[in-house]
Structure 1
Amino acid sequence: MAAEASTAGAASAAEAKPFAVLFVCLGNICRSPAAEAVFRTLVSKRGLDSKFLIDSAGTIGYHEGNKADSRMRAASKKRGIEVTSISRPIKPSDFRDFDLILAMDRQNYEDILNSFERWRRKEPLPDSAPNKVKLMCSYCKQHTESEVPDPYYGGPQGFEKVLDLLEDACESLLDSIVANNASISG
């Protein structure tokens, strides 16, 4: 009887655990904080805040502790999206803590997987962790781009393009997660 109660409690706790999504770009000051904010806004509009853990990180730590790029914050704000995250580098525990890790481009994708291989030699990480890593644009429905371009060295139109891609991908991403996780939709 106690074992049954314990099992039921564990199942209930597993259902209550939020679905964790991590968005990753190079410096965590343009694309990934914008993706985090776009996704967070969509989740909130659907009333699913308690069902998700949402964060962003960079493959490098050059900007650790900084706010997102002011140009990205301004472009996002015009769309009603508040970018509030603080830059941090990806870390080994992210491979345990997040259910899905979304890379903005192919180089980020490779850097994430290389970090995993390097870190797993030093500490135990789930063998399945690389399967959690996906390209952000693989969720786009309206755009054909395969990567979210880095707008850092470009003009304002680059930030708008990034937001267009992220809004498209995040909508589809959220639909996919909800459709494949009964604990979120039910």
Structure 2
Amino acid sequence: MDLPAESPITKENPYKICFVCLGNICRSPTAEGIFQHLIDEAGLSEFFEIDSAGTSAYHIGESANSKSQRTANKYGITLHSKARQFNASDLENFDLVLAMDNENFNNVCQMADEHHQSKIRRMRDFDPDPGNREVPDPYHGGAEGFENVFQIVKRSCQQLIDELRPHIRQ
């Protein structure tokens, strides 16, 4: 995958990633929490700034969904984020914007000018087993839906880190 990187990733120039879903209470906070956990474990947290957001304003200020939190906690991961709405200025601030599904990908792309289009990708572009390339919305599903999302996002985040690692200058 050709990642947008204009310069090496350093502590002084961290790589900024925003994970995006609809309400910012299930998939994107799960991705933010998993990515943070993985970079913490790898000793790389100083090289990244991460955030999550939703394309809608439905849940601004809310914590992650309790089922998302329960699933993440099962793996020793805490979801700290509070829901916020993604806006066009985020495209200027982040190096990579990862949408969880096609609808949110299209919504973010509509905000982007030609210069920022290359920053927008789907989360499952980094999944070794991308299926239909969408992280399904588990909101109305049972525990198995949240577990499925967790596993998809975890392997996608690990692959993303593996692809970014060669760009890190210690």
Contact 2:19 2:52 (C-alpha < 8 Å) held by counterparts: yes
Q: 149, 161, 168: which one pairs with 1:174? A: 161
Q: 38, 59, 79: which one pairs with 2:55? A: 59
Q: 93, 99, 108: which one pairs with 1:112? A: 108
Q: TM-score, normalised by structure 2?
A: 0.90
1:177, distance to aligned residue in structure 2 (A): 1.3
**Cα distance in structure 1, aligned partners of 2:33 and 2:11:** 25
Unaligned runs of 5+ in 1: 1-10, 118-126
1:114, distance to aligned residue in structure 2 (A): 1.4
**What is the root-mean-square deviation in Å for CA atoms of aligned residues?**
1.8
**Cα distance in structure 2, aligned partners of 1:15 and 1:80:** 26
- Does residue 146 (structure 1) correspond to residue 133 (structure 2)? The answer is yes
Contact 2:72 2:79 (C-alpha < 8 Å) held by counterparts: yes
Q: Normalized per residue, which structure has more helix? A: 1
Matches within 5 A, 1:62-141: 62-116=58-112, 127-141=114-128
Letter in 2 for 1:71: K
Bigger relative contact order, structure 1 or 2 (CA pairs below 8 A, ≥6 apart) = 2
**Cα distance in structure 1, aligned partners of 2:66 and 2:107:** 25
**Cα distance in structure 2, aligned partners of 1:115 and 1:156:** 33
Q: TM-score, normalised by structure 1?
A: 0.83
Letter in 1 for 2:145: G
Corresponding residue for 2:147? 160
Contact 1:143 1:168 (C-alpha < 8 Å) held by counterparts: no
**Cα distance in structure 1, aligned partners of 2:132 and 2:169:** 29
Q: 28, 31, 34: which one pairs with 2:30? A: 34
1:116, distance to aligned residue in structure 2 (A): 2.7
1:141, distance to aligned residue in structure 2 (A): 1.1
Structure number, greater radius of gyration: 1
Unaligned runs of 5+ in 2: 1-6
Contact 1:18 1:53 (C-alpha < 8 Å) held by counterparts: yes
